[in-house]
Chain A
């Protein structure tokens, strides 16, 4: 178990640029989640995948945001035309999951996040 890894750890970019983050989940986990966390707040859910299928997207995920998990392994989160308000920590988590009650007790395992700063 090598844990969830995220790349890069830090990203500084100018307003209006596009950025892409990568998340590598724990290998046996079929669910992958993206969260956004601003300073002093808890994580806010953005979206999640079960295998390669994106099953839910938050209203926070504007059309400038897109996430993919093409082969059900790693995932990317892209932000287009970045804005000042996009500055945050972007966290990825993975877990075992499924559409059955017994999966609701599975813990999510988090990466160390990507901190995005918009100049």
Chain B
């Protein structure tokens, strides 16, 4: 069985300070992990993905995430927040099992960036 937990429903940071959005996963099989961003009234945009290659994954807009198998975590970070980063972020796990696979979404983290 697979599941994903986003540990914070809301995160507030000041512009120019680091961003940390936390995601823990559970999977019986080797997972693929994704982070998506969703701005108001828009669809989900892929930020980055982990697919069993390098454990440190770089994405768009300066975001990166590190896959830590021992901690079953895939936290999203950015060194310096920008006002345009304010949005909802979703962590997603996908893993093959029992002859199929499916996207499992976390409940989302709303990032607020303060001027």
Contact = CB atoms under 8 A, between A and B. Distances in A.
B105 A107 contact: no
Contacts of A41: 107-108
Interface string A27-52: 00000010000001111010000000
Contacts of A40: 108
Range of interface residues on chain A? 20 to 34
A43 B99 contact: no
Nearest to B49: A107
Contacts of B3: none
B43 A91 contact: yes
B9 to A, nearest CB: 9
A110 B108 contact: no
Interface stretch (A12-20, A62-70, A72-80, A96-104): A96-104
A55 B46 CA distance: 24
A102 B17 CA distance: 38
A25 interface: no
Given A42-B105, A45-B103, A104 B94 contact: yes
A104 B96 contact: yes
B44 A91 contact: yes
Given A104-B96, A105-B32, A107-B34, A112 B107 contact: no
A115 interface: yes
A101 B105 CA distance: 19
Given A33-B103, A110-B44, 17 more contacts: A41-B107, A41-B108, A42-B107, A43-B105, A91-B43, A99-B99, A104-B94, A105-B32, A105-B51, A107-B46, A107-B49, A108-B46, A108-B103, A109-B46, A111-B43, A113-B42, A113-B43
Interface of B: 32, 34, 36, 41-46, 49, 51-52, 90, 94-96, 99-103, 105-108
